[in-house]
A and B are shown apart, each in its own frame.
Chain A
């Protein structure tokens, strides 16, 4: 199949969502780049656009129902939906790498040719990171509890937040 913008073969089949309605595009790699990155003077600016492109590309091959279900899934910590991620090419919080791990694997394989980290490990608190990330959820839940006037719940949450923050601050005493 030919690219819709030039004569090269189309290797990217994009389902663009315009006002929630799908619009099929078939582009070669170069035109796909241009479609998503109108102007950039830095390699690292083109690549995020590619991530968005590939994230959308992931969706091709799923049935409409599978896709709809997948898109509705959201992160338990920050609330971002898979649909939002697919549209922006950007994730909402560190926990997304756990919540959407299965979906991210093929995307990472596409971008990097690999799916596991090799290399530097944080010297000081590699294992404590996920616990700190839960603070995002706890703070959000505390705010919601206060709005709903569930003050006991808010108080429990605040204590939990404080103890995790204490663990974090102990590390930064200097």
Chain B
């Protein structure tokens, strides 16, 4: 079953599960993601694989996984997407949806992704490793994510031979992933820690315990939209449970810091905070042209305002969706037009006005 451009159009209209903002602690935790890196034992790693190898690897993996799906081994609708055949804008769309990595979009050569249409699961074929399996869940839900991905990994492994040895574990193209091949990440929204200038301190303390912190959609310590992704750096010498626990244990501490920072802002500068949030809402609802950067910045304030009850006529799922739908590829897919930068800024403003007018709270899809 092949994904056509029309299906991507449909996907653009809906929200992936991780955007719904319905999981545990979802005022601060946006999503939990677990990824496993695997390779077939009888092919070279990607950097050394020929075009024939890549085609063969893709064929084997696609066949095995689709057969599993036919046998009803997992629920939901599974779709195969030939990434190498997509237009740049459609690849960008999938990156914005967190369904493929930037690397997978920009690389050359035969490569694909299998996506479950609820967008909880995606399996990249021929990215840096032959297989990169990913499970994405709303809010803080690492336990459930691990169970799901572990099961899928077993199902696939029953049909193929993974590259593995007892000494070094699951063998990967890059030594930074060897062993468990596991990357556990949690995405958090931390606007109060940014405003109160504590975010750098948080960074440093996480780095001391070997956790990586990265701004989403951006670099350095000032992340766009105040989103931060915390993940494990080490993959070898600790079990999957230990690595997941390490990330999972630190999240409540971060949530607590953020909540305390928000309380502080309410106690010490309620008017300033309320003004900040209201101005953000005002601009978003009335601007005629607006950049992606400014949008992320204002949506971050709006989101915090909704969480704190300062803004009552917008719902969190709407705000979450706006973060994604105002990204460049999404905008163009939703309007069905190819737009240059300044036209996008106009279209973005129009989209925001439409979706934040009065009935923003439960407006549903468009």
Contact = CB atoms under 8 A, between A and B. Distances in A.
Interface in A116-163: 116-126, 128-130, 132-133, 135-136
A122 to B, nearest CB: 5
A135 B42 contact: yes
A169 to B, nearest CB: 10
A113 interface: yes
Interface of B: 35, 39-48, 64, 67, 71, 101-103, 128, 150, 153-154, 157-171, 173-180, 183, 185, 210, 212-219, 229, 231, 233-242
Contacts of A89: 174-175
Interface of A: 39-48, 50-51, 55, 78-80, 88-94, 97-98, 101, 104, 107-108, 111-126, 128-130, 132-133, 135-136, 168, 171-172, 174
Contact of B45 (A51, A92, A135): A92
A48 B177 CA distance: 9
B239 A118 contact: yes
A115 B236 contact: yes
A133 B214 contact: no
Contacts of A55: 175
B166 A136 contact: no
Contact of A51 (B46, B176, B237, B242): B176
A129 B41 contact: yes
Given A113-B237, A130-B165, A136 B42 contact: yes
B173 A90 contact: yes
Given A48-B176, A117-B169, A117-B180, A132 B42 contact: yes
Nearest to B158: A124
Given A51-B176, A120-B180, A43 B237 contact: no
Contacts of A118: 179, 237-239, 242
B239 A113 contact: no
A107 B212 CA distance: 19
A90 B178 CA distance: 12
B165 A47 contact: no
A122 B179 contact: no
Nearest to B128: A48
Contacts of B173: 90-91
